[in-house]
Amino acid sequence: QSVLTQPPSASGTPGQRVTISCSGSSSNIGNNYVYWYQQFPGTAPKLLIYRNNQRPSGVPDRFSGSKSGTSASLAISGLRSEDEADYYCATWDDSLSGVVFGGGTKLTVL
Amino acid sequence: EVQLVESGGGLVQPGRSLRLSCTASGFTFGDYAMSWVRQAPGKGLEWVGYIRSKAYGGTTEYAASVKGRFTISRDDSKSIAYLQMNSLKTEDTAVYYCTRTYCSGGICYATYMDVWGKGTTVTVSS
So what's the pLDDT on residue B108?
86
- Phi (first) and psi of residue A75, to 5 degrees: -115, 140
Question: Does B112 sit within 8 Å of A51, measured CB to CB?
Answer: yes
Beta bridge partners of residue A90, listed in sequence order:
A35, A101
B104 pLDDT higher than 90: no
So what's the pLDDT on residue B106?
82
B90 pLDDT higher than 90: yes
So what's the pLDDT on residue B12?
98
Size of chain A, expressed as the number of residues it contains: 110
Say how far apart CA B23 and CA B34 lie, in whole Å: 11
So what's the pLDDT on residue A1?
82
Question: Does B37 sit within 8 Å of A104, measured CB to CB?
Answer: no
B115 pLDDT higher than 90: yes
The greatest distance separating any two alpha carbons of chain B, rounded to the nearest whole angstrom, comes to 47
User: How high is the mean pLDDT of chain A?
Assistant: 97
Provide the edge-to-edge strand list for the sheet that holds B3-7.
B3-7, B18-25, B80-85, B70-75
Question: Residue range B31-60: average pLDDT?
Answer: 96
Helix (H, G, I), strand (E, B) or coil at B123: strand
Closest residue of chain B to A44, computed from CA coordinates: B118
Under the banding of pLDDT at 50, 70 and 90, the label for residue B105 is confident
A43 pLDDT higher than 90: yes
User: How high is the mean pLDDT of chain B?
Assistant: 96
So what's the pLDDT on residue A30?
97
Residues of B in contact with A33 (CB under 8 A): 109, 111-112
CA dihedral B86, B92, B97, A107 (to 10 degrees): -170
DSSP chain A: --SBB--SEEEE-TT--EEEEEE--TTTGGGS-EEEEEE-TTS--EEEEBTTTBPPTT--TTEEEEEETTEEEEEE-S--GGG-EEEEEEEEETTTTEEEEB--EEEEE-
Residues of B in contact with A32 (CB under 8 A): 111
